[in-house]
Structure 1
Amino acid sequence: MSLTVLTSCRLRSLCRLQRIQGHMMSSHVEAGVLLEKVGRAGVITLNRPKVLNALNLPMIRQIYPQLKTWENDTDTDLVIVKGAGGKAFCAGGDIRAVTEAGKVGDPLAQDFFREEYILNDAIGSCRKPYIALIDGITMGGGVGLSVHGRFRVATEKTLFAMPETAIGKTVLRNRVKKKIPELEKELVDLKSPSAEDISRVLDTYQNQSRLDSEKPFALHKHMSDIDRLFSSSSVEGIIQNLKADGSEFAKKQAETLSKMSPTSLKLTFRQLQEGAALSLRDVLVMEYRLGQACMRGCDFYEGVRAVLVDKDQSPKWSPSTLEEVSEQSVEQCFSSLGDKDLTF
């Protein structure tokens, strides 16, 4: 690619980034997050329903200081976070803005993830009960805003794009969408509640949501296959197991994995292995290193192009095969960033 073409691409990316940032900072744009005190509860409402409450940097910079203020405020007993619009809690981070920033070397590409993970840590360590009402689509950054807190409430409309981690108490609900406002009011009306008091309220609603309690776990019939097929010391071993098995289930998993970035598959595999033994803070440091490594590479931008921009669903990964992804390149992605590492 010629220097002229590269310069043109950078200019287009810079112009798109400036438009995005200008839109984000415009006084005519409705507030992306609403922060209010209701009784003795601090209430965070993610307020970008037109984009499924996607999380951006201005929202993070509003939520973090307010959360810390409420945590130290003797007049605040608990914190509730929810999404506006009825379709989504939060559909993830504003990837388009981060992508355009990464292309032109704008610090937003570093600042967004750094400040997002610092917020996630603040949620995970918050001394006040933190209750996430996870109604609707919840992906990426939305998972970070919810699962790290002490209490999570899901409805029949909750759709996660990541597996949930076992941190604190999770209250899964079926057919209780209409009861969420009632639940929120009851939580807000609690007087100086302990964690046990909040648990009792949530358990009351959980006991009302047993309509689907007899339905088996959707993957129950596949659990033995999952344990057998995915028990390997490498991604290549997993792929080999799936191809050798020949069952429809195995074929489907192999087909899905074949469409993914080979680099991302290897990074994710090692990340899962190492993350199981780490604290939340150590996991966030690892995640930040990996995020910055992906921003330095090619596949992140190619994936965004194929899925969100051109929408041709045909990414051209580099390297294109698992065998071409060296252990050295994987190791580099997990290495310390020195003075640019994530700190709390």
Structure 2
Amino acid sequence: MTEPAPNGTPAPSSEPETLPEPDVVFEQRGKLGVVTLNRPKAVNALTAGMVAAVLEQLTAWADDDTVATVLVQGAGDRGLCAGGDIVAIYRDILAGGGETASFWADEYRMNSLIGRFPKPYVAFMDGLVLGGGVGISAHGSLRIVTERTRTGMPETTIGFVPDVGGTLLLAHSPGETGTHAALTGAHLSGSDALFLGLADHFVPSGRLAELAAALEHESAETAVVRFAEEAPASALEAQRDWIDACYSADDAEEIVRRLRAAGGEAAAAADTIEAKSPTSVKVTLASLRRSRGLTLDEVLVEEYRVGLHCLSGPDFREGIRAQVVDKDRNPQWRPATLSEVHTDDVERYFAPLGDRELVLWEKESDHA
């Protein structure tokens, strides 16, 4: 117990004050630059401050000759990253959405930089890797999944649309499997991620620490290949026949009709889709089709347009409320059915933003 000072006030403690840990930690270990997302209680959900810090550090490491490889990993044992901090987004929507627009601009610049990073970028996609977690990992050059990986783009569940370049990644998945993943928002295994093209190698989670140590002095490709093992079979790949047949339509209502007619797992997928925001489902389908043939930067600009239009619509706010604020899991979508969402309604989400358009790399010096 601290003894009181002569005047009766407690004496100052001799123990140093414990400062809170930063939300993201940067280290250089040998030739390896390590990014550790450090909000384990929130499954390392990304905040605006974290994204800005990662963007600044990656920009510095890109030109640092003492760094040969970059590794991104998550603190704790629950996952790399569960996405963006949607509670913070919800609060900002109620206040007008300005902070979220700025957050996304930096996040998409970070995604763009990862996609063109000049050095090996290794991502440990262990545990949960959702939404923004996909953006900080799946654009890298060496993407590692494990037996614990649960990944996906679940945005239609909260009245939003896959972003962070996710529509480009899923548009290039085999056949229509990416369309299925995007519309249903399904959580996918590491094997499914490999099949979809969201990852490159399977390494057991118990060996990730050894791999990280090897990356400090070995070339990234050599180290990763040495630790990689054959992944279990992908359940999604086994379902490809009915997925390709049902999701090849460019109309969401026709996709649902085909799924119901196919029965079994396909009919269950139809139930899942019809529980999502009808507007999000249709805008997501349009985003996937439009992403084919575009570059990552072009897709990010378009996703930013869609995102800002979602901020001003009713379903994004309602979806977050139902899932994580009130947690009643009973969103009241507006409109409530796919048939009520018309082509003009969808096209409005892709309308240019004027002076609010996303600028990627003309302003790169702002983050140098």
TM-score, scaled to structure 1: 0.84
SS in 1 for 2:70: strand
Which residue is 1:177 aligned to? 205
1:239 is aligned with what amino acid? V
The residue aligned with 2:221 is 199
Instruction: Describe the shift of the 1:147–1:179 C-alpha distance in structure 2 as closer, same or farther (beyond 3 A).
Output: same
Compute the displacement of 1:106 (Å): 4.7
Counterpart in the other structure of 1:114: 105
Report the secondary structure of 1:148's partner residue.
coil
The residue that corresponds to 2:158 in the other structure is none
- Asked if 1:161 corresponds to 2:155, the answer is no
The equivalent of 2:310 in structure 1 is 294
Offset of residue 220 of structure 1: 3.8
C-alpha separation between the residues in 2 aligned to 1:189 and 1:200?
Answer: 11
Q: CA RMSD in A?
A: 1.9
Aligned to 2:251: 234
Q: Which residue of 1 aligns with 2:293?
A: 277
Q: Does 1:312 align with 2:328?
A: yes
1:219 partner SS: helix
Unpaired runs of 5+ residues, structure 1, are 1-26, 191-196
Q: Does structure 1 retain, via aligned residues, the 8 Å contact 2:70–2:120?
A: yes
Q: In 2, are the aligned partners of 1:90 and 1:141 still within 8 Å (CA)?
A: yes
Q: Tell me if structure 1 keeps the 8 A contact 2:69–2:220.
A: no
1:336 alignment counterpart:
352
Deviations 1:70-108 (A, max 9, x none): 101122111111111121101100011011111111521
- 1:7 alignment partner in structure 2: none
- Residue 116 to residue 256, structure 1, CA distance change in 2 (3 Å): same
1:213-254, CA deviations, whole angstroms, 9 ceiling, x for partnerless residues? 5x5321344221111112212001111212333x22222011
Quickly say closer, same or farther: Cα 1:285–1:84, change in 2 above 3 A.
same
* CA distance in 1: counterparts of 2:251 and 2:119, whole angstroms: 41
Q: Which residue of 2 aligns with 1:77?
A: 68
Q: Given that residues 26 and 34 in structure 2 are in contact (C-alpha distance below 8 angstroms), is that contact kept between their aligned partners in structure 1?
A: yes
Cα offset for 1:119? 0.7
Note the 1:110-149 alignment, pairs <5 A. Answer: 110-149=101-140
Q: Which runs of 5+ in 2 are unaligned?
A: 1-17, 154-165, 174-196, 361-368
Q: In structure 1, what is the equivalent of residue 179 of structure 2?
A: none
Using the TM superposition, give the Cα deviation of residue 61 of structure 1 relative to its aligned residue in structure 2, in angstroms. Answer: 1.3
Q: How far, CA to CA, are the matches of 2:349 and 2:60 in structure 1?
A: 35
Q: What amino acid is the match of 2:233? A: P
* Percent of pairs with identical residues: 38
- CA displacement at 1:260 relative to structure 2: 0.7
Pick 1 or 2: higher relative contact order, CA cutoff 8 A, min separation 6: 2
Query: Which piece of structure 1 moves more, 163-172 or 45-54?
Result: 163-172
Contact 1:150 1:169 in 2 (8 A): no
Cα deviation 1:26-77 (Å, max 9, x = unaligned): x954200001111122111101101110100111111111111110112211
Task: Determine the C-alpha separation between the residues in 2 that align with 1:133 and 1:221.
Answer: 25
> Equivalent residue of 1:244, what SS?
helix
Q: Counterparts of 1:82-101 in structure 2 under 5 Å?
A: 82-101=73-92
The aligned residue for residue 47 of structure 1 is: 38
**In 1, distance between residues paired with 2:287 and 2:22?**
35
CA contact (8 A) 1:32 1:59 kept: yes
Partner deviation per Cα, 1:3-35 (whole Å, 9 max, x = no partner): xxxxxxxxxxxxxxxxxxxxxxxx954200001
Deviation string, structure 1 residues 187-212 (Cα, Å, up to 9, x no partner): 1112xxxxxx4222211111xx33xx
Residue of structure 2 aligned with 1:244, choices 261, 265, 273: 261
* TM-score w.r.t. length of structure 2: 0.79
Paired residues of 2:250 and 2:285 also in contact (CA < 8 A): no
Q: Measure the CA separation in 2 of the matches of 1:45 and 1:106.
A: 28
